[in-house]
Amino acid sequence: MSTVITHPSVDVCVIGMGCMGGNVSQLVSLAAKGYKVVGLEKGPYWNYQTDWPITKYDEYGIQIMRKNDSPLQQTTVTIRNNVNQFALPIRRNTNGQATSSGYGVGGANQHYGAQFGRYAPWTYAINSNTISKYGQAYLTAANPNDDTLDFPVTYDDYLPYYQAFEAVWGVSGTNQEPNCPSSTFPMPAHPQTAVAAAFQSAAESLGINNWPAPSAIASEPYTNSLGLNINACVYDGWCSCTSYPCETGAKASSATRTVPAAIKGGNFDLRTNSYLFRIDTDSNTGLATQARYYDAMGNVHVQPATTFALATWGFYIHWALAVSGIGTQYNPTTVTGSLGRGIANPTGAPTRTATGTLPIGQNNYTAGNGQGGSYTTYDFADDNFDHSKVSAPYLGGTRIQYGAYPSSPGLIALGAAGSAANVGAAYKASVYHKTQATKQTISAASGGMDLPQTNKYIDLDPHYYDIYGDPLPRMTLDYTINSGNASNDSVRLWTPVVEKMGVTNLTPGPAVTPAGSHFTAWGIHIRGGIRIGASSSTSVMNMYNQVWGTPNVFATGEMTQPNGSSVQTGGTHPAACTSYAAADGILKYLTSPGPLVSE
């Protein structure tokens, strides 16, 4: 029988110690009024100096078994493409089925690709911008069953949050002008590669704005705005997206950028191996009163608090609210309710191919740090070109980064079953000089943005349960025609650029067809489901990420964004603004309790 342990009440209980939870924790606990904050994290506190130097090179354990990810035997998600299908759970981290998820202090940022970049102003008003320029009929044609929703804030509203976060996180780059105004980053860009130089030259000759791709990996030693000393990247190459952690601490996460400062401040109590299972509410006041969670021994802990901040990974925010009876679950038949509504997956959508050869050599030996060294542009994204001339209507556009460092580890292929393709003299000869390439394959196509629709949502699965007996979250999600139409048109937009770079033999592949492929794996960057907005009928929270109807509960993260973006599939950078908004809201609420926004 488990023991019930009740803790003294605190000002704020933060659930989840990834980027968002770390931001809220340091912002509130280090505030001048000295508020007491408890941080709950279901995993351990990874120490990059002791946990990663040797174990990070375990390709099988990390890349295939996902040993640093949230354990699926504890909880997972079920997936279906439409309401007529029976959703099935993700039970194994097999290639193509599941992606990197957060576990432990630092969350998924411990092993993400650290690809950064702000949303541009257009993203914050996708719906109204499209209708005002192209009309409702265009929007309906581009996205049937449209459920896009403007942010309740603008780019300018979030600008101070962007700048404060970038100073804490230590973003490397130059800027994203003119697409993202006032975007000078605190650290220089990573060294440019030869391919990036070719792209930069081609883009400038064509009048295309371009800049080094921003990165959350330190390009030089850095002391952040909280006084924490950050080590520089050593370019060892074990840095691919969704897999490998950083043994130098150069890759930004809350474990190195925020949580140490919160702990040092003295008002923050971190509790690891703590699995939240309920937020209790008072039926008379409607306010949340306490969080209940399990520890590693199965004991039940009760943590009363004045306010609560949900900063867990992905769809677990929806799950925590739903099992706790907070919010009104979305109903796709009546198109009512907001909890779980409007999800979209910006990654993995079917993409048209268009590749050619660039006569620039490279050393493919494992080195570099993923996207560092590359250059990019937003000129073919958002509404930075005239969409009235496209052959099939779509919102947004595409973005390609050229010149990422050439290689990350790929030795795991050597453990595949033996065959003529990977055994014998012919195979050995083919790989003998594989690290010394004399040319490269360059793409002139990219994927478009997926959009929220009224038939895409998250709810609780009535058939499958987690290890503690609670229902699993269930995603009803498939790709939209918008992503395919944008990808098909990307070849037209990017071809002049790559040809100017010197790419030859450019060969476009067949166009993406609607419903040609389907969503089959959970996405690490799901947007929506716990949206912020101007009305409780279409959103779960207001501009301060404060839950409508339960004003002492706040939530922050990618899924609180109403829409994704055509410029940034990675989500940490723009989503961080929601954590700063939530922290501002919590500080306001602690001073004057109640709803911060009226409908």
Q: Residue 367: what pLDDT?
A: 64
Residues 6+ apart with CB under 8 A from 288: 279, 280, 281, 282, 305, 307, 308, 324, 326, 550, 552, 553
- pLDDT of residue 383 exceeding 70: yes
- pLDDT of residue 423 exceeding 90: no
Between CA 77 and CA 319 the distance in angstroms is: 10
Q: Read off the amino acid at residue 73.
A: Q
Token pair, residue 120, equals 């541009």
- pLDDT of residue 408 exceeding 70: no
497 close to 195: Cβ distance less than 8 angstroms: no
Instruction: Give me the torsion for CA of 471, 349, 240, 574, rounded to 10°.
Output: -80
79 CB-side CA count, 13 A:
17
- pLDDT of residue 348 exceeding 90: no
Q: Residue 105: what pLDDT?
A: 96
Least confident range of 306-320, 516-530, 574-588: 516-530
Q: Roughly what angle, to the nearest 10 degrees, separates helices 194-205 and 481-501?
A: 90
As to burial, measured by CB atoms within 10 angstroms (0-12 exposed, 13-18 middle, 19+ buried), residue 563 is buried
- pLDDT of residue 570 exceeding 70: no
Q: Residue 50: what pLDDT?
A: 86
pLDDT in tens, 474-519: 999 999 999 999 999 999 999 999 999 999 999 999 999 877 788 8
pLDDT in tens, 252-287: 999 999 999 999 999 999 999 999 999 999 999 999
- pLDDT of residue 411 exceeding 70: no
181 CB-side CA count, 13 A:
9
pLDDT in tens, 353-370: 899 999 998 776 666 676
| Cα angle for residues 333, 337, 343 (degrees, 5° grid) | 80
Runs of H (alpha helix) within 286-381: 316-323
As to burial, measured by CB atoms within 10 angstroms (0-12 exposed, 13-18 middle, 19+ buried), residue 49 is exposed
Residues 6+ apart with CB under 8 A from 221: 229, 230, 231, 232
Distances in Å between the Cα of 371 and the Cα atoms of 47, 117, 173, 191 are: 24, 12, 11, 11
Fold type of domain 4-413+422-591: FAD/NAD(P)-binding domain (3.50.50)
324 close to 279: Cβ distance less than 8 angstroms: yes
- Please state the domain extents for the chain: 4-413+422-591
pLDDT in tens, 115-142: 899 999 999 999 999 999 999 999 999 9
Q: Residue 68: what pLDDT?
A: 84
Q: Residue 409: what pLDDT?
A: 57
